[in-house]
A and B are shown apart, each in its own frame.
Chain A
């Protein structure tokens, strides 16, 4: 079943671009990564799906229902961890969480304590005394304690120390195994690579690629390094080759296409060394971001 369906969603803030013509689907049980640099439109997309803001054009459905018409009903089963966590000051964490829990029909008390213990969050502190990372933890407990079917995580790991980040990822994987669908927005690719099944790459408000994590990394691009005497980089200027770089006796490039074409070229040369490897997501990502500039 499709949990999220977005069709041609467009948002302008006055004249400023938010997102443009964004379409994608998220299936039930997926961990869907949403990557892009700051200002690309990640938060705008999430806030539209929560009906915190209204679209200029386009449609969005969650659980098969229009998010702008059935928002309250849909949000029963949604958890949300905002990127910037602001809460009512002068309140104890426990009181804030109890207030948050009071919006849901089921009793969240047990899960709330479990999550707080797991994330090492002191429930008796006052919210305004908390560090940024601890506020993030409040957000995590708040977003998951009512056992939602779908959770939006907007840059969830910023502010968490590495140990906590790991715990948090374990938690997300565990919840996902129980059926939670996760929408994970981030600009840190390594974490998306670690966690997500599928990713959408957003750039300047537009989706530039949606692919399986495996496809994206394994099947699409190869990173090729060739070492030989008297190399002419023009020799590798084939269709599908990008980012061709030449230093001393070494040529680097990315290749997308039939790998045999490159191999045939290579076999004609007297090589000192060659490596063909999968690029990291980071490198693929840089590729998408630089393509239009070159």
Chain B
């Protein structure tokens, strides 16, 4: 790890960090702001929801969850936070090395007296720091807006802490997957389409994976590993699936280091 690379990369993330954190806080505010209305019409709402097909409810994280309770409703909000967090983390992952190489500016860094492992580690830590700051915003805004809009309704903080506590690993899975994929692709010109593909792909796979029937493909998506409805229902993590996430991090990071250290830095031909 090189402190100068770390701080340089972190400073470059400043604007994007502000935008993502503001989006997280805004989504938490808007959705929690709807909660009082939701809770007031809870009875009617539950009736309506019962008439919807169960697959539909499952897809949007509303099955088996009491949306009139603070925790139940929050778990529904948390799904949206997860989508944003996944997008941010996969963008950072795809952008970590590939954007520089696409713009041909990696020569600048790699020709300096540093090892490639130092470059990658410093960049990863800078991205992780930015993600952790966003994570902190997610914690703070969640508790602030829950307090603000629960209007005295009681709630159990434990599942909420579990959900928020899962963010760090959830982010790192997308960060390292994005990085690993970016090193497989020949040249990444723009991060956004790849980031979208990875995070929405994972989301859709979780939401509609059940429709695939016996093929348990949805088990590979981090959205399933940290499924908020599971956490609320069981007041615990699905440990084997969390382990799968950790394994995915290990594999993609190991691959990324191996590949980045050995590969030829692209140049203008």
Contact = CB atoms under 8 A, between A and B. Distances in A.
Given A71-B115, A72-B115, A103-B112, A52 B105 contact: no
B264 A13 contact: yes
A103 B3 CA distance: 10
B264 A53 contact: yes
A226 B114 CA distance: 60
B264 A99 contact: no
B153 to A, nearest CB: 47
B37 interface: no
B262 A103 contact: no
A47 B267 CA distance: 9
Contacts of B267: 43, 47, 52-53, 84
B74 to A, nearest CB: 38
Main secondary structure of the interface of A (DSSP, over half): loop
Contacts of A233: none
B114 A103 contact: yes
Given A47-B267, A53-B265, A80-B111, A99 B103 contact: no
Contacts of B108: 86-88, 100
Interface in A213-268: none
A52 B113 contact: no
B4 interface: yes
B258 interface: no
Contacts of B264: 13, 52-54
A75 B265 contact: no
Best-buried of B111, B114, B115 by chain A (most CB within 10 Å): B111
A71 to B, nearest CB: 7
A118 to B, nearest CB: 22
A54 B268 contact: no
Interface string B112-139: 1111001000000000000000000000
Best-buried of B103, B110, B115, B268 by chain A (most CB within 10 Å): B110
A15 to B, nearest CB: 14
A190 interface: no
Interface in A58-111: 71-76, 78, 80, 82-84, 86-88, 99-100, 102-104
29 contacts: A47-B265, A47-B267, A50-B110, A52-B110, A52-B264, A52-B265, A52-B267, A53-B264, A53-B267, A54-B262, A54-B264, A72-B114, A72-B118, A74-B113, A75-B113, A75-B114, A80-B111, A82-B107, A82-B111, A83-B268, A84-B267, A86-B108, A87-B105, A88-B108, A99-B8, A102-B4, A103-B2, A103-B4, A104-B113
Interface of B: 2, 4, 8, 12, 103-105, 107-108, 110-115, 118, 262, 264-265, 267-268
7 closest Cβ contacts across the A-B interface? A53-B264, A102-B4, A75-B113, A103-B112, A76-B113, A86-B104, A52-B265
Interface of A: 13, 43, 47, 50-54, 71-76, 78, 80, 82-84, 86-88, 99-100, 102-104
